Structure 1
Amino acid sequence: MSVKSRLKVVLCWHMHQPDYRGADHSDFQLPWVYLHGIKDYVDMVAHLENNSDARAVVNFAPVLLEQIDDYVQQISDWLEKGLLIKDPLLAALAGPGLPMDQAARRDLIHACRKANEKQLIHRFRTFHRLVDIAGWIDGHRENSMYLNDQYLVDLLVWYHLAWMGEHARINDLRVKSLEKKRHGYSCDDRRVLVQAILDLLRGIIPRYRRLAQQGRVELSVTPYAHPIVPLLLDINSTREAMPDAELPNVEAYPSGEERARWHIRKGIEVFRKHFGFEPVGCWPSEGAVSERTLELLDEEGFRWAATGQQVLHNSLVASKGGDLEPNWLHKPYWSTDNGINCFFRDDGLSDLIGFTYADWHADDAVGNLIQHLENIADATEGKSDRIVSIIMDGENAWEHYPRNGCFFLTALYKALAEHPRLALTTFNNYLSKRGKQSDRLDKVVAGSWVYGTFSTWIGDPDKNRGWEMLVDAKRAFDRVMESDRLNEKQREQAEIQMATCEGSDWFWWFGDYNPGDTVSDFESLFRKQLTFLYELLGEEPPEYLQHVFAKGSGDPSLGGVMRQNV
C-alpha cells in the first residue's frame, strides 16, 4: 500500500507547565519545570532522535520555554559565579548548606516525597528506605531534630536521581555512578548532579529545534501565558455548551479581544526567539476554541489549530442535527468564515495512553492501540482525507508507566513507523500534501478538549470568584495603562504580570474536585500574583487578596494533572 493511501496518524504531545515563579519572577514556588525537564522533555526528544522514521507534533507553551531558559541561566550562574539558585529544592541540592530551622527541614523532607510511589519511589531500594524514614517523622514530628545533614543530602540526591529520565539513567555516566554509590553523598557529588541537570536542561530546546529543522517533528505553540482565549473574548460563550452554567458576576472580560490577540502574538514572538522560525500550528490553551478564537488564529497567520472530539461533536450536532455521518471524527474541518484547518482529538485513543496503558505490558498496550487504528483504517477505507489525531499531555502520564514509558514509547514509534497500513505524519505535512479539501464546519460550539465545555475553568463558585478577582485587577490595569503614570519599562512589566494572572492553570485547580495541597499551592500563588500586579500599577491591593477563597478536598485520577473524557 502506498504511503499516500495509508491512514494518517498524528501523535501530538503538548508540553506545558504554568509559570511557577513568584511575584516579580522571584523564587520558583514549585519545581515541576526542571523535574519534568530532566525526566520527560529529555526522554520524549530522545525517543524521536532514536527512531529516524518517527514523526510527531510537539507543542510548547511559551512560559515553559521561558522557565527552562531561566533555570539554565540560574544553574550556570551558580556553577560559574556562586549565585543563589532561586528554586528552594534545587538550591538545597546544590548546597553546600542546608536549612537549620526544623520547620524548613520538614518542608524539605515533604518536598522530596512528591513522586509517584510505585514507579519513582519503590523502584529504588535506597530511596524507598529514605522515604520510609520521612514517613515516620511525619507521625513523630518532634523527632525531626535527630535527622542529620547526611540524611537530608542523601534524600535530596535520591529524589533527583529518581526523577531522572530513562535515557539519562542509561547513558549518563555521572547519573549511573551516583546511583551505584547509594549513600553518603558529598558536596562534590551534589555539584556533579547539578551539572548533569544543567546539561540536560540546556539541551532540550536545541534538540527539538534540530529535529524540526530535519523535518522529523513539527513544533507548534500555545498563546503566551496559556489563557482560555474564548473566555477572554466572551465569558458568555461558556453557555454554548453549558446552557445552565452559573457564571461570574461580571458582564465581560474588559478589552478581552485585545488581550487575546496580545497572548497570541507574544506566544509567536517567544516561539520564534527559541526556535528561529514562526509556527504554523496552534494548540489553543486546553484546546479551547470558539468561532472568534479560530478567526483570531487565522488572522495571526496560523494554518491549523486543534481541539477536542466533543467540541466537534457539539458543533456538528448544532450544524446538522443529531444524524452524524460515519467516521465524522477522523478528518479535518474548516469553518465558514475563516480558512484555518481544524483537527480534532480522538478522545478514546488519547485517554487509553493517558489513563489505561500504564498498567499493561508495553507490547500488549501497543498491540491494542494498533488494533484500534487498524479498525479505523478499515472503516475509512477509500477516504483520501482520513487522519487520526492522538493529542495528549506530553509529560504527566509517564511517571505512571514503568521506566518512564520507555518500553511503551519505543514500541509505539517502531510499530507505527513500520506498519504497512498506517503512516505517521504531522499536521502541517498532512496539509501540505493535500491542500485545502477539508469539510466545512458551519458552526463552532465554544468548548475545550475537556468534556467539550469550559467547566474545568468556570462555573464552580471558587472558579467564578477567581474570575471576579481577575476582572477587578484587569479594570485597574486598564485604568492605569490609559494614564501616564508608568514609564515604558514599568508598562512592559505590568503587561507581563497581567498575562501571568490570566493563565488558565489557576482556574484548573480551583474547586473541590482537586486535592487540597495542590489547590492551596495555586490559590496562594494566584493571590500573590494579583497582589503584585496591583503593586506594579501603584494601586492598593484589595483586602480580599489576604484571604483564602478556594480549598480542595478531592482525590482525582493521577492527582488532577490530567482529565479523562468520561
Structure 2
Amino acid sequence: MKQINLVLLWHMHQPDYRDYVTNEFVLPWVYLHAIKDYTDMAYHLEMHPKTKAIVNFVPVLLDQLDDFTEQFSTKQIRCPLLRLLATPELENITMQDRLYIIDSCFLSNHENMLRPYPAYKRLHELYQVFNKVSERELKYLSGQYMADLLVWYHLAWMGESVRRNNEFVMKLMAKNQEFNFEDRLQLFTLIGELIQDLIPRYRKLAESGQIELSTTPHYHPLAPLLIDFTSARDSQPDISLPEHNIYPGGRNRVAFHLSSAISSHVQRFNEKPAGVWPAEGSLSTALIKILAEQDCQWSASGEGVLVNSLRSADPDTTLSDRNHYLYHPYRIAGEAKDIICFFRDDQLSDLIGFEYSKWFGRDAAENFIQSLEHIYHNTSTEENPVVSIILDGENAWESYPYNGFYFLDDLYQLLDDHPYIHTTTYRDYLAHVEINTIETLPALSAGSWVYGTFSTWIGDKEKNCAWDMLCAVKLSYDLVVQGDRLSEEEKIQASRQLASCESSDWFWWFGDYNPAHSVASFDQLFRKNLMNLYHLLKLPIPPTVLEPVSKGSEYTETSGAMQRSSSSTD
C-alpha cells in the first residue's frame, strides 16, 4: 500500500555566547531557549510516542548546556541575568545592573510573550514612562520592580509544558506580583533542573527508537565557504567575494569541525550519528567528500539546492512538477555516491516557520495534513514519497500563541492517527531501501537552505569584510601555532577560540536588513572573539577589529533569527 514517509527534522542550535577570556555568557539565549523550546519539543514527543522525528543538536549548543549544568551544580553562575535573578538584595545593585535588567527583560515577542500577562504588561508600561528620564532617575525604580521584572521575564520564557504541569510555576503566575527572594531562588533552581534534565530526556527518546539524533560540524561553520569561497558562484556567478581568495586551510578546518562533532555525539549519546545536517543546510561536492570520509550515511539541504543542481546538470530542460523530483533521495555522482542526500520541502517547512503562527492551531495542523495528502495524490502510484520538513526547533515558536503548543499537539495527534502518512527518520528509511536503487544526482550545485545560495553569509561589503578579518587572523594563527611560541595548552585554547570565530552565525547578522540592536550584539561578539584569539596568539589587535563591521537597520522590525528559504511568500 502506498504511503508518505514524513521526516520531521528539528534543528536545535545557538551560537557560542561565551567570552573565553572572562568565561562569562555575554547573551542569555541558550538557557532561555532551553527552558522554553527544548523542554516543549521533548514534551510533545513524549506525549506522542508514535510520532517519529529527527532532532539535530549542534555540539556547541550541547557544550553550552553542559556549561550551564555545571554552573548550577557548583553555584558559580557566569551569566549576568541568571546571577541577578538569584541576587538577594536588588535594592542595592549597581546602576549598571539596573540598566542591564531593563535592557534585557523586554527582549521577546511582545504579542505572544508580554501582552497576555497583565502584570508583565504593566511593568513594560512603567518602563516606557521611565525610558524618557535620565539614568540617574532610574534609581527610583525599586528593587521590587526589578524582582518582578526578572521573574516575569523568565515566566514568559518558560515552556508551555512547564507552565501547565509545574505547580510552583502555576503558583508564581497566580501570585502575579511582589515576588520575594524565595520565589526568585526557587525559580532559579527550577531553571537549573530543567536544563539538567534536557539531554537525558532526548537520550531516552533516542534509545526508544522514537527519534534519531543527528549532528552538525561542531561550531556551525558555513563549510562550503570555508573550503572554497568560489563555491558561492555555483548559484550566483556574479557574486562579489572577499579580497582573500580562499580561507587558509579551510578543508582541514571543516574536517576538524566534523570529526569533533562526531566525537561529541558519541560521548553524549553512546552512538555515532548516522547523518549530518550541515550548518544552514549548506552543501557542496567538496563537503560531501569530507562527509564520506567520516562514513556518514546521509545529509540534507534545501529545495533550492536541488533545483539548482538539476538545472546545472541539464540547462536546456525545463523542470517538471516538483512532485516528480523533490520527494525522493539522491545519491551524489562521483566519489561520494554512498552519501544519500534528502531535500527539504521549502514551502511546507516555511508554512510552519512563518505562516501557521497566524492561524488557529487546529486549522494549521489540518492544513498541513491536507498538503501532505495533496502530495500523496499527485505523486506516482509506484513510489512512496519522502517529504522532508526541516526547520529550527526553537526560533519559530516565539511567534506562536502558547509557544506553538496547540499546533504541535494537534499536528502530532493527526499524524498518529493518519492511515497513510508515516513519520520516520532518515536512518530508519535507509535501513529498508536498496541503496543502488536510489536515483543519482549528476552534479551538486553548492548552496544553502536560504534561497539555494550563500548570499545570507557572503557577497555584500560588510559580510566580505568580516570574512577578510577572519582570514587575516587565521593566517596569523597558522604562523604562530607552527612555531614554539605557545604551549600545548595555549594551542588548544587558541584552536577552540578559532573554531568559535568560524561560526556561520556572525556572518548571518551582518547587513542592513537586520535590526540594529541584534546586529550590534553579534557584531561585538564576533569582534570580541577575534580580539581574544589575537590575545591568545600573543599578537597585537589590528585597528580594523576595533571598529564595528555592521550597524544594521533602525527600521527593521523582524528578529532576523530565521529567514524564508525563498524570496517568494507562497
Which TM-score applies when normalising by structure 2? 0.96
Given candidates 107, 117, 122, the residue that maps to 2:115 is 122
Deviation, structure 1 residue 344 = 0.4
Within a 5 Å distance, the mapping from 1:350-361 to structure 2 comes to 350-361=349-360
Does the 8 Å contact 1:514/1:560 carry over to 2? yes
SS at match of 2:431: helix
Task: List per-residue Cα deviations over 1:154-210 (Å, max 9, x = no partner).
Answer: 110111011100111111111111111111211111110011101110111110011
- The answer to whether the 8 Å contact 1:15/1:59 transfers is yes
- Structure 1 CA distance for aligned equivalents of residues 118 and 434 of structure 2: 55
2:22 matched to 1:8?
A: no
Matched ranges for 1:307-326 at <5 A:
307-321=301-315, 322-326=317-321
Aligned to 2:220: 226
Partner Cα distance (2:362, 2:307) in 1: 32
Q: How far did 1:385 drift?
A: 4.8
Does the CA-based 8 Å contact 1:513-1:554 persist in structure 2? no
Q: Please, what is the CA RMSD of the aligned residues? A: 1.3
SS of match in other structure, 2:474: helix
CA contact (8 A) 2:515 2:558 kept: no
Equivalent position to 1:186, from 180, 186, 203: 180
Q: What is the distance in 2 between the residues matched to 1:117 and 1:53?
A: 34
C-alpha distance in 1 between matches for 2:190 and 2:230: 49
Distance 1:194 1:383 in 2: 56
Q: Which residue of 1 aligns with 2:414?
A: 415
1:397 is paired with a residue of what secondary structure? Answer: helix
Helix, strand or coil: the match of 2:395? coil
Match of 2:78, SS state, is coil
- Matching of residue 305 in structure 1 with residue 299 in structure 2: yes
2:60 counterpart of 1:63: yes
Deviations 1:296-342 (A, max 9, x none): 11111110001000000000001123322432111111111211000
Partner of 1:487: 487
Structure 2 residue aligned with 1:93: 85
Per-residue deviation, 1:102: 2.6
Report deviation, 1:23: 3.1
Q: What SS is found at the alignment partner of 2:178?
A: coil
1:111 maps to what in 2?
104
Number of aligned residue pairs: 558
| Partner amino acid, structure 2, of 1:229 | A
How many Å separate the matches in 1 of 2:426 and 2:556? 32
Q: CA deviation at 1:556?
A: 5.2
1:291 maps to which of 285, 293, 305: 285
1:57–1:558 distance in 2 versus 1, CA, 3 Å: farther
Residue 215 of structure 1: which of 206, 209, 212 is its match? 209
- Give the Cα separation in 2 of the matches to 1:296 and 1:118: 44
Structure 1: how far apart are the matches of 2:484 and 2:171?
A: 59
User: C-alpha separation between the residues in 1 aligned to 2:544 and 2:520?
Assistant: 16
Separation of aligned partners in 2, 1:525 and 1:392: 25
Residue type of the partner of 2:517?
A: D
Partner of 2:546: 546
CA distance, structure 2, for counterparts of residue 145 and residue 366 of structure 1: 48
Mapping of 1:15-414 within 5 angstroms? Answer: 15-24=12-21, 26-78=23-75, 83=76, 85-98=77-90, 100-142=93-135, 143-321=137-315, 322-326=317-321, 327=323, 328-337=325-334, 338=336, 339-414=338-413
Secondary structure of the structure 1 residue equivalent to 2:273: coil
Letter matched to residue 54 of structure 2: V
Deviations 1:109-166 (A, max 9, x none): 1200001111110111111111111122112235312111011001101110111001
Are 1:385 and 1:438, in contact at CA under 8 Å, matched by a contact in 2? no
Moved more, 135-144 or 371-380: 135-144
Counterparts of 2:303 and 2:556 in 1: how far apart (Å)? 22
1:212-268 CA-partner distances (Å, limit 9, x unpaired): 010000100000000000011101111111111111101111011110100000111
The letter for the 1-side match of 2:449 is: W
Farther off after superposition, 177-186 or 510-519: 177-186
In the alignment, the residues of structure 2 paired with residue 477 and residue 91 of structure 1 have an alpha-carbon distance, to the nearest angstrom, of 35
- Aligned residues of 2:3 and 2:384 also touching (Cα < 8 A): no
Map 1:418-457 onto structure 2 (within 5 A): 418-436=417-435, 437-457=437-457
Q: Partner residue of 2:468?
A: 468
State the 1:475 CA deviation. 0.3
Cα distance change on mapping 1:172 and 1:14 into 2, 3 Å: same
Q: Deviations over 1:436-483 (max 9, x none)?
A: 122101101110000000000000100000000000000011001111
The ranges of structure 1 where at least 4 consecutive aligned residues each deviate by more than 6 angstroms after the TM superposition are none
SS of residue matched to 1:519: helix
- Provide the rounded CA distance (Å) in 2 between the counterparts of 1:459 and 1:311: 18
Quick check: 1:332–1:385 contact (8 Å CA) kept in 2?
Answer: no
* Deviation (angstroms), 1:8: 0.7
The amino acid that maps onto 2:488 is E
C-alpha distance in structure 2 between counterparts of 1:130 and 1:342, whole Å: 50
| Structure 1 residues 368-394: Cα deviation after superposition (integer angstroms, max 9, x where no partner) | 111111110011142335200000010
Counterpart contact for 1:23–1:528, Cα < 8 Å: no
SS in 2 for 1:10: strand
CA distance in 2, matches of 1:524, 1:557: 20
CA deviation map 1:390-426 (0-9, x unaligned): 0001001111111110000000011112111211111
2:209 partner SS: coil
Distance between the aligned counterparts of 1:382 and 1:139, measured in 2?
Answer: 66
Counterpart of 1:514?
514
5+ unaligned residues in a row in structure 1: which ranges?
A: none
- How many angstroms apart in 2 are the aligned matches of 1:435 and 1:67? 39
Distance 1:274 1:194 in 2: 25
Percent of paired sites with the same residue: 45
> Which residue identity lines up with residue 520 of structure 2 in the other structure?
S
Query: What letter is aligned with 2:529?
Result: Q
Residues 330 and 387 of structure 1 are in contact (CA less than 8 Å); yes or no, is this contact kept in structure 2?
yes
The residue type paired with residue 55 of structure 1 is: K
The 2-side partners of 1:558 and 1:195 are apart by 33
Letter in 1 for 2:82: L
Aligned-pair CA distance for 1:273: 1.7
Asked if residue 499 in structure 1 is aligned to residue 499 in structure 2, the reply is yes
The C-alpha deviation readout for 1:39-68, integer Å capped at 9, x for no partner, is 000000000000111111110110000001
Residues 295 and 557 (structure 1), Cα distance of their counterparts in 2 relative to 1, 3 Å cut? farther
TM-score by length of 1: 0.97
User: Structure 2 regions of 5+ residues with no counterpart?
Assistant: none
Q: Alignment partner of 2:342: what SS?
A: strand
